[in-house]
Structure 1
Amino acid sequence: MQMTYYLQVGVTMSVNKLGLPLMIGSLAGLLLLMMLFPGAYLESALRGLAIWWDVLFPSLFPFFIISEMMLGFGVVHLFGTLLDPLMKPLFRIPGSGGFVAAMGYVSGYPIGAKLTAKLWEQNMVTRDEGERLVAFTTSSDPIFLIGAVSVGFFHNPKIAVILALAHYGGGLLIGLLMRFHGRQKPSTASAAAGPGGNMLQGSKAKGSRIQRAFAAMHQARMQDGRNIGEMLRQAVESSLKLIIVVGGLVVFFSVFLELLTQVGVLKSLYLLLDQILLAIGFPASLSEALIGGLFEVTLGARSAGEAASSIPLPFKAAAAAFVLSWGGLSVHAQIASILHATNLRYLPFMLARLVHGVIASALVMVLWNPVMGRMMPAPAFNHSIPSTPMWVPEALADRIAYFCILIAFMTAASLLWGWIRLAWRRLQRGPLK
């Protein structure tokens, strides 16, 4: 036992000693490249800043604030109690995770991770539950998938059908697979764990589930205790901090990727990936899209959509599905920065994203003929459509509508499933004598 302990300590110290010089050398090399290619550096930084300001800030910032306010008002506890019969049997997470899933799928990365971290702070999820939750609630939002990828990059809105099935269907499969993560660890005792959880555990048998849900909401609001002004101020403050971190990471990876392109590092990666793609039956020319998507999702999806016309459309769509599901290292850095304040580990998230990308690509290839059928080829769109569409005010209303529809469907399914289980138990007990 002591030998194992000393070995682990020695390995950790070796990694730390190696990691620091490597980090310093990498940063020094990056500074050198910035001095050697000042024009490319400045252009890429401005491009990343434009993506953040034109797309990410207006699309994510309102949802950051809304999610904070909903937590303060106890809305998450309300839906947590309502969705518990659906989420625990399927995904082994409390019902509050259903609210996170709805927000994450509608708003896109990194909303799911932010809300998961908030649930962890309020002791509403354990570490394993949080890792399961963030692994399958991190996804592209439908506005980006339809507007930017399908219309802007592929110039064909019909592609959105197969991409949505592969991306969101693959996400649900990841959720089902992640239920085996941390299998031996205990889960939260109640969907309303955290503020108000003790009261609900004591009165779990009193009233219908809807009554208990509103009781959980009221208790959480009372325990929060902040007035609306203070709640709004803190929501804006924390949301601004997070959106600035997101913007900084987007600019950094935009510069990093451009500098690697200038020195020819990406060409070597293209050659390596070419051989892998040929081995699995994919066109080698998709390597540029996949390498770009490895770092940044927008660049990879654009490269997939604008790849050579000689590449069959199913392969291009499969590459785009992989990029959307992987998310890019820029998104991974955002998630890691959010998880850093918790005890949730990044490695399960990274592995889930990789598996999600593979599953989404496979679903595109398997479902292409049954789903698309005679829908293809579709009329080409005007190529004057910008590759990164500007944010439009209607998109916020669309996302709110998508969220309301999704959460209503999940709530109805949860209540129906809970009623079926209750009826089945009563049937098994038989008539009272």
Structure 2
Amino acid sequence: MTLLLTIIILYFIVNPKICIQSALSGAQLFVNAILPSLFPFMVICNMLIAFDGITIYSNVLGPILCRPLKLSKNCSFAIIASLLCGYPLGAKYSAELYKNGYITKNEFNRLLNIASNAGPLFILGSVASSMLNNIYYGYIILAANYLSAFIIGLVTAENNHGVTMEYKGKVQTKNLGEIMKNAISDGINGILMVGGYVIIFSIIISILKNNVLSTIISTYFLDGITINRDLISAFFLGIIDLTNGCYIITSSSLDIPIKLCFLSFLCSFGSFSVIAQTSAFFYKYEVSLLKYVAYKIIQGIIGAIITFLASIFLLNTIPTFSSTLTNSTMIVSAPFILLLILTIITIIANKLLHAS
């Protein structure tokens, strides 16, 4: 790690202009896209927690959202936060629920994988409308994102249903002004941390895209590979940073079905940037990061498979879509079908292990 950080410092010294531009680009992305959507939502959710809104949400929506997943009703608040606003608020409020005694440690571990998804604002707004110029593609990715999380919830479900825990904290006696002050303070701390990750990973992406080593690999090692270079570059960079990866994929010459599958994988998996953001909220609770990442990879594969199946069975009647079902699309069908079979086998094996 010391060697890697030293290389980054040396790159700063050698190419300060590129690093500054990438930092400004990350800051602009944070200010224009992330800050306006996440910060108000964080403040409102913090106030809801202070006024014990979790109890209301649990009683109203808990049976609908949590019973199929064998979670306690109190988990519904984090699930709703994830469904409405996406990364990293699901992880943040899962940690808040566990810290305040609403859920058990086992539920906390499961909830981190279930309530950790890309939000509709990012998928429908940034990816579908701005990058793909078609909102209907966004609905396919969003549905796959939610369904893959639900499947992960079923895979990790235990035989016993979640038992709702009574809140062990003190009754809130603070006035509205103090509650709002604390909510804003916590929101500022959380959103600045997210912004810091966005800027740092923007710099890392810039370093990876503009160095001699990546040029050599692209020129000499990928010449004999028949796979599209844009696909390799977009997938690699997308694993590191979600937003940059989605932009590169949508800007490539790949067929629409292939684009949607890889976009769905990235949105369901997140990226190392997103994983770093979410882990900042749960690292102190002794959660296995390796297990969390493994489940996110599985969720990404499931999301890509769902999107691929939807591409075949749901959208082939749309002219602008069916015209893109070329030979290259059919070439990748075999691997996706194989992945579907392997996923089903994994789910069955997991259930058998739990049953035993």
Report the TM-score range of the alignment, normalised by the length of the smaller protein: 0.7 to 0.9
| Amino acid paired to 2:257 | P
Does the 8 A contact of 1:117 with 1:338 survive in 2?
A: yes
Map 1:315-394 onto structure 2 (within 5 A): 315-377=258-320
**Per-residue deviation, 1:267:** 5.3
| Amino acid paired to 2:291 | P
**Per-residue deviation, 1:338:** 0.8
Does the 8 A contact of 2:54 with 2:74 survive in 1?
A: yes
1:305-344 CA-to-partner distances (Å, cap 9, x unmatched) read 1111xx3211111111111111111111111111123333
Aligned to 1:240: 188
For the residues of structure 2 that align with 1:47 and 1:224, how far apart are their CA atoms? 42
Map 1:399-414 onto structure 2 (within 5 A): none
Map 1:255-334 onto structure 2 (within 5 A): 255-266=203-214, 283=228, 285-308=230-253, 311-334=254-277
For the residues of structure 2 that align with 1:288 and 1:191, how far apart are their CA atoms? 47
Map 1:213-228 onto structure 2 (within 5 A): 223-228=171-176
Does the 8 A contact of 1:127 with 1:343 survive in 2?
A: no
Aligned to 2:104: 126
| Amino acid paired to 2:302 | I
Aligned to 2:353: none
**Per-residue deviation, 1:89:** 3.7
Does residue 90 (structure 1) correspond to residue 68 (structure 2)? The answer is yes
Provide the secondary structure at the position in 1 that maps to 2:287.
coil
Q: 2:164 aligns with which of 179, 190, 202?
A: 190
Aligned to 1:142: 120
The higher relative CO (CA closer than 8 Å, separation ≥ 6) is in 1
CA 68–261 in structure 1, closer or farther in 2 if over 3 Å, else same: same
Stretches of structure 2 that go unaligned for 5 or more consecutive residues are: 322-356
Aligned to 2:199: 251
For the residues of structure 2 that align with 1:359 and 1:236, how far apart are their CA atoms? 37
Q: Which has the larger radius of gyration?
A: 1
Does the 8 A contact of 2:58 with 2:74 survive in 1?
A: yes
CA 236–103 in structure 1, closer or farther in 2 if over 3 Å, else same: same
1:121-171 CA-to-partner distances (Å, cap 9, x unmatched) read 111112221121121211111122112111211122221232122222112
Does the 8 A contact of 1:339 with 1:346 survive in 2?
A: no
For the residues of structure 2 that align with 1:223 and 1:158, how far apart are their CA atoms? 46
Does residue 47 (structure 1) correspond to residue 25 (structure 2)? The answer is yes
Provide the secondary structure at the position in 1 that maps to 2:285.
coil
Q: 2:92 aligns with which of 104, 114, 117?
A: 114
Does residue 162 (structure 1) correspond to residue 140 (structure 2)? The answer is yes
- In the alignment of these two chains, the number of paired residues is 321
Does the 8 A contact of 2:113 with 2:296 survive in 1?
A: yes
Calculate percent identity across the aligned residue pairs.
22
Does the 8 A contact of 2:69 with 2:157 survive in 1?
A: yes
For the residues of structure 1 that align with 2:197 and 2:298, how far apart are their CA atoms? 24
| Amino acid paired to 1:335 | T
RMSD value, Cα: 2.6
**Per-residue deviation, 1:59:** 0.8
Map 1:418-429 onto structure 2 (within 5 A): none
**Per-residue deviation, 1:283:** 4.9
For the residues of structure 2 that align with 1:256 and 1:166, how far apart are their CA atoms? 29
Provide the secondary structure at the position in 2 that maps to 1:179.
coil
| Amino acid paired to 1:343 | E
For the residues of structure 2 that align with 1:271 and 1:338, how far apart are their CA atoms? 40
For the residues of structure 2 that align with 1:88 and 1:143, how far apart are their CA atoms? 24
CA 90–270 in structure 1, closer or farther in 2 if over 3 Å, else same: farther
**Per-residue deviation, 1:353:** 1.3
Stretches of structure 1 that go unaligned for 5 or more consecutive residues are: 1-22, 196-221, 379-433
1:260-280 CA-to-partner distances (Å, cap 9, x unmatched) read 2222444577799979x97xx
- Mean Cα deviation higher: 367-376 or 238-247: 367-376
For the residues of structure 1 that align with 2:220 and 2:281, how far apart are their CA atoms? 32
| Amino acid paired to 1:297 | L
Map 1:50-61 onto structure 2 (within 5 A): 50-61=28-39
CA 370–187 in structure 1, closer or farther in 2 if over 3 Å, else same: closer
